[in-house]
Amino acid sequence: MSTNTVFDSSSIKKGPLLFVLIVGAFVAVLNQTIMSVALPHLMVEFSIEASVAQWLTTGYMLVNGVLIPITAYLMQRFTTRELFQSAMVIFLGGTILAAMANSFEILLVGRLIQAAGAGIIMPLLMNVILTIFPPDKRGVAMGVVGLAIVFAPAVGPAITGYVMEEYSWRTMFQAIIPVAALVIILAHFYLKNVAERLYPKLDVWGMILSTIGFGMVIYGFSKAGSLGWSNTEVVVSLTVGIVSLAVFTWQQLRAKSPLLDLRAFKYNMFSLTTIINIAVTMVMYADMMLLPLYLQNARGYTALESGMLMLPGALLMALMMPVSGKLFDRFGAKWLSIVGMIITIGTTIGFVNLTDSTSYNYLLLMSTGRRIGMALFLMPITTAGLNQLPARLNAHGTAISNTIKQVAGAIGTSLLVTVMTSSTKTHLTDAMVTSGTQTASKEMMVHANIQGINDAYLVIVGIGVIGLVLSFFIKSVKQGEEEGVKMSASHKVPAGIGHAKKLKNT
At residue 462, the pLDDT reads 93
* C-alpha to C-alpha distance for 187 and 182, rounded to whole angstroms: 8
Least confident among 161-175, 191-205, 227-241, 343-357: 191-205
DSSP 8-state secondary structure symbol assigned to residue 167:
S
Mean pLDDT of the chain, nearest integer = 82
Beta-carbon contacts of 155 under 8 Å, excluding residues fewer than 6 positions away, are 30, 307, 310, 311, 314
CA distances to 304, 327, 361, 386 from 371, in Å: 19, 17, 15, 23
* C-alpha to C-alpha distance for 506 and 491, rounded to whole angstroms: 20
- Of 104, 83, 84, 97, the C-alpha closest to 38 is 104
Candidate ranges 135-144, 218-227, 285-294, 453-462; pick with highest mean pLDDT: 453-462
> pLDDT confidence of 488, banded at 50, 70, 90?
very low
> pLDDT confidence of 11, banded at 50, 70, 90?
low
At residue 481, the pLDDT reads 62
At residue 10, the pLDDT reads 55
* C-alpha to C-alpha distance for 339 and 316, rounded to whole angstroms: 17
Q: For residues 171-199, give the mean pLDDT.
A: 85
- pLDDT, tens digit (0-9, with 9 covering 90-100), for 260-281: 888 889 899 999 999 999 998 8
Q: What is the DSSP string of 31-43?
A: HHHTHHHHHHHHH
At residue 325, the pLDDT reads 85
At residue 34, the pLDDT reads 76
Residue 500 has pLDDT above 50, yes or no: no
Residue 482 has pLDDT above 70, yes or no: no
* C-alpha to C-alpha distance for 504 and 194, rounded to whole angstroms: 9
- pLDDT, tens digit (0-9, with 9 covering 90-100), for 365-417: 998 999 899 889 888 898 888 888 888 888 888 888 888 887 887 778 778 87
Residue 178 has pLDDT above 90, yes or no: yes
- pLDDT, tens digit (0-9, with 9 covering 90-100), for 105-164: 999 999 999 989 988 888 888 888 888 888 777 887 887 777 777 777 767 777 777 777
Q: For residues 43-58, give the mean pLDDT.
A: 77
Q: 497: which strand partners?
A: none
Residue 436 has pLDDT above 80, yes or no: no
Residue 286 has pLDDT above 80, yes or no: no
At residue 271, the pLDDT reads 93
Residue 181 has pLDDT above 90, yes or no: yes
Q: 403: which strand partners?
A: none
At residue 497, the pLDDT reads 37
Cβ atoms of residues 184 and 93 within 8 Å: no
> pLDDT confidence of 342, banded at 50, 70, 90?
very high
Residue 490 has pLDDT above 60, yes or no: no
Least confident among 32-41, 103-112, 196-205: 32-41
Counting Cα atoms < 13 Å in the Cβ hemisphere of 203 gives 25
Q: For residues 231-245, give the mean pLDDT.
A: 92
Residue 1 has pLDDT above 60, yes or no: no
Residue 486 has pLDDT above 50, yes or no: no
Percentage of the chain exceeding pLDDT 70: 89
Residue 310 has pLDDT above 70, yes or no: yes
What number of H helices and E strands is found in the chain? Answer: 18, 0
